Structure 1
Amino acid sequence: MDGASIIEQLMTTEGRFDPYPLYARAHELGVAVPAGPGVVLVVGHAAASQVLRNPAFAVEDNRSLAADNAELLAHPSVELLGRSILQRNAPDHGRVRSLVASAFNARRVAALRPAVETTVSRLLDELAELGADGSPVDFMDAFAFRLPVEVICELLGVPAADRHRFRALSSDLTIALEVIQDLGELAAADPAAEELSVYFEELIAERLARPTGDLVSDLARIAADSPERISGEELLSNLVLLLVAGFETTTNLLGNGLALLFRHPEAAEGLRTGSLDPALFTDEVLRFDSPVQLTSRISTAPDLAVAGLPTPPGTAVFVMLGAANHDPARYADPGRFDPARTDSQPLSFGGGPHFCLGSQLARLEADIAIPALLDRFPRLALAEVPVRRDRLVLRGYETLPVTVR
């Protein structure tokens, strides 16, 4: 099996369901693996980190799409996300990122702990009520989605009455972040992008008229007063990104973590008794079953190479985060779930200029939520076979039915 075959297999439902055997085959081929003309897979941990931190490996932005794939750029979902910091390069990326980064600094995230704890407690109460008669409750819908969406919406200033709308819209929009083989796959993503755009246009107008001191109010005022710092279009795209990214990864982290606890009851017992550090457990979940499996870059400079493999300008470089987190050169027995590892340093949140702004917040939510869940429900059990989302880039569960009584 060569690199192109591995990509082909990863694009199947079976490959997406369990990509890890394919990653193991890729590791046998090398640290960086050719995968067809102008395509390279990076599966080694050190090499992936190198690519993520080198700005000469750029993200594919709307400017490059306009030149190379204008048909794709014509889709509202692709165009919207392409205006966000997720898919912008220097200098625009740094200019806009600096405006929102302060909302996610260590001090502000630490200050959110009481709010996260309160939200966790309330959602556990509701979970207990939903499952009081012993009937199955979908953990993903009742808790894993609601906790991070409550937190990010509070930070942004999105009214509580609107928050229930976002799970389906986010699920549809993030199709645009997958590896698109057929433009028809964007049929659900485009209307989701349009609906979210209209929603935030109205919220921005409301906050300009009546500011409330939240992030939307602050950024809307900057865009109105200093459009050279952030334009109206950039504001809109990045608010959508912050909403979607603010809970999409954390939702998958919580679901993937709980599913692993059902397979490893000794880890659940360790969290209940306090003998297992929740932060180490979160790190190992991120490493073992990363909520984000890959990201991509484009080589933009001559003489670039990854682990000795040349990547001339225009080379598409797929950074396989899930594979890098299972690199046998970096981790002893990488296919074993071991929450006692103390040196994980998973690449699940990326690295370099595009390192995830919300990584500390996601970790905080998981570190608080999972032990609280286990403490509240000593007999928490899997009720039915969980259903995976049929995605490659964003890996998580569609449903995870549990009983709590």
Structure 2
Amino acid sequence: MTIIGTADEILAELQTDAGRRAPYPLYERLHALGPVNLTPASPAYAAVANGYAAVDQILRDPRFVKGGPPPAPDADPITTALSNSMMFRTEPDHGRMRRAFHAAFTPRRVAALEPEITALTDDLLDRLAGLGSDGPVDFIAEFGYLLPAGVMSALLGIPAPDLDWFRTRVQRVEDYLDFGGRTPEKVAAANNAATEMSEYYASLIAARRSKPGDDLISALVQVIDAGDGDLTDEELIGNLLVLFNASFVTTINLLGNAIPPLLERPELVKALASDPAVAEACVEEVLRWDGTAQLVVRTASEDLEVAGVTIPEGGLVLVILGAANRDPARFPNPEVFDVERPDKRHITFGAGPYFCIGAVLARAEGRLALPRLFQRFPDLALASPPVQSAGLALRGFATMPVVLGN
């Protein structure tokens, strides 16, 4: 008989390296305990929410608070940058910042990027063919990273030669944000990264203010200067840092997480390469089955009941999106990757007021890139087992050696 354990024990296991790399058996154990589970022994969390309905309820209820006040004058650089973004600020500041971004980051802007996404994908596939002609090539480094980097370059107006500079700094911020503790080394690295990226964005904002372009930063500067967005330059910098990290890392992980389940299904790969509807369904099932964003945190602003469990005022709730996407009460046989699943309405991008603002862009990149990848390399195969990254909050692969085939 399987020993399920307590929610506290499962939470402790999730914070180990092994738990972060393979969380789904732990989620299954949480589901056996219930959709919401108190964690009285945890020094950080009052409860874990893992059921789909419970997670959806918490994300949509404004009494479960995300974020905090503006940063203190003496806050360290990473705290200042994050606290100046909509994702780490409570209302009314969150809504104010989000409205400014909605005025500039429109579906039309994303749709206008689609030809560029397609062209960039084809260029990268040409490059991949050259690199892989003599043996295995790392799909993550040579395609999964470069595509969203190029798209973010086009969206934000970041010069392409600067993108390599961003990679290590983005990783340092991701390491700081990941579930499982912040070491002094991670904090120091994140502070250095936040300082450098904030200075970079400040310089780019100044350049776009004097000479606007067609990019998102130019559009946001125009919103600010017109007085329509009620957004400061410091808040724009914080939001750009978070937007780049979230959209960029999410898309890397989406592309990488799609490869193993697709390679196990050759007939699906053939259909994906020729049918846009299958491509869209594949993207949604990947996001459900092995979601790029696995968890968020909320604070109960008062005693609140979810799924019959009372979460005390001030209690932090670990809201596990990845577990909700594997909830058997919502998805029959949730461990099965099934693109024909009638209900694939995952919660990877969140719900309610904090729904991921970059979701439409990540979906577009996956929907456009994956078919072209398999059209070009129908015999793509893993050269050796891919290496799962040690992060859980944003889940993906660190490396994925592939052979391209004939």
- The normalised TM-score by structure 2 is 0.92
Asked if the contact 2:15–2:180 (Cα under 8 Å) also holds between the matched residues in 1, the reply is: no
Asked if the contact 2:255–2:366 (Cα under 8 Å) also holds between the matched residues in 1, the reply is: yes
| The one of 57, 69, 81 aligned to 1:50 | 57
**Which residue of 2 is the match for residue 362 of structure 1?**
362
**Cα displacement (A) at 1:228:** 7.6
**Which residue of 1 is the match for residue 30 of structure 2?**
26
**Which residue of 1 is the match for residue 298 of structure 2?**
297
Q: Residues of 2 paired with 1:280 and 1:404: CA distance?
A: 24
Q: Residues of 1 paired with 2:201 and 2:221: CA distance?
A: 11
Code of the residue aligned with 2:25 in structure 1: it is: P
Asked if the contact 2:144–2:253 (Cα under 8 Å) also holds between the matched residues in 1, the reply is: yes
- 263 and 190 in structure 1: CA distance in 2 versus 1, 3 angstrom threshold: farther
Q: Residues of 2 paired with 1:224 and 1:103: CA distance?
A: 13
Q: Residues of 2 paired with 1:228 and 1:348: CA distance?
A: 28
Q: Which blocks of at least 5 consecutive residues in structure 2 are unaligned?
A: none
Q: Secondary structure at the match of 1:28?
A: helix
Q: Residues of 2 paired with 1:35 and 1:361: CA distance?
A: 36
| The one of 36, 59, 63 aligned to 2:66 | 59
CA RMSD of aligned residues (A): 2.1
Asked if the contact 2:387–2:398 (Cα under 8 Å) also holds between the matched residues in 1, the reply is: yes
- 225 and 392 in structure 1: CA distance in 2 versus 1, 3 angstrom threshold: same
Code of the residue aligned with 1:60 in structure 2: it is: G
**Cα displacement (A) at 1:308:** 1.4
Q: Residues of 1 paired with 2:97 and 2:167: CA distance?
A: 26
- The normalised TM-score by structure 1 is 0.93
Q: Which blocks of at least 5 consecutive residues in structure 1 are unaligned?
A: none
**Which residue of 2 is the match for residue 178 of structure 1?**
178
Q: Residues of 1 paired with 2:269 and 2:79: CA distance?
A: 40
Asked if the contact 1:153–1:243 (Cα under 8 Å) also holds between the matched residues in 2, the reply is: no
Identity rate, percent: 41
Q: Residues of 1 paired with 2:153 and 2:182: CA distance?
A: 33
1:48-94 Cα deviation digits (max 9, x unpaired) = 1111111111113255x97xxx9xx9442233112211111211111
Asked if the contact 1:270–1:276 (Cα under 8 Å) also holds between the matched residues in 2, the reply is: no
**Which residue of 2 is the match for residue 86 of structure 1?**
87
Q: Residues of 1 paired with 2:331 and 2:102: CA distance?
A: 31
Q: Secondary structure at the match of 1:188?
A: helix
**Which residue of 1 is the match for residue 96 of structure 2?**
95
**Which residue of 1 is the match for residue 393 of structure 2?**
393
The answer to whether structure 1 residue 116 and structure 2 residue 120 are counterparts is: no
| The one of 7, 10, 17 aligned to 1:3 | 7
272-281 or 256-265, which deviates more:
272-281
Asked if the contact 2:78–2:191 (Cα under 8 Å) also holds between the matched residues in 1, the reply is: yes
1:168-208 Cα deviation digits (max 9, x unpaired) = 21111112222352442323222111111111111112112
Code of the residue aligned with 1:194 in structure 2: it is: T
Q: Secondary structure at the match of 1:277?
A: helix
Code of the residue aligned with 1:257 in structure 2: it is: A
1:266-321 Cα deviation digits (max 9, x unpaired) = 4323323539711111111001101010001001134x211111123201111100
Asked if the contact 1:62–1:79 (Cα under 8 Å) also holds between the matched residues in 2, the reply is: no
Aligned pairs for 1:2-401 (under 5 A) are: 2-36=6-40, 39-62=46-69, 74-133=75-134, 135-184=135-184, 185-224=186-225, 226=227, 229-274=230-275, 277-302=278-303, 304-401=304-401
Q: Secondary structure at the match of 2:48?
A: strand
Q: Secondary structure at the match of 1:385?
A: coil
Q: Residues of 2 paired with 1:179 and 1:274: CA distance?
A: 38
265-274 or 286-295, which deviates more:
265-274
Asked if the contact 2:86–2:97 (Cα under 8 Å) also holds between the matched residues in 1, the reply is: yes
**Cα displacement (A) at 1:227:** 9.4
Asked if the contact 2:36–2:54 (Cα under 8 Å) also holds between the matched residues in 1, the reply is: yes
- 263 and 189 in structure 1: CA distance in 2 versus 1, 3 angstrom threshold: farther
Q: Residues of 1 paired with 2:182 and 2:89: CA distance?
A: 24
Q: Secondary structure at the match of 2:133?
A: coil
- 322 and 89 in structure 1: CA distance in 2 versus 1, 3 angstrom threshold: same
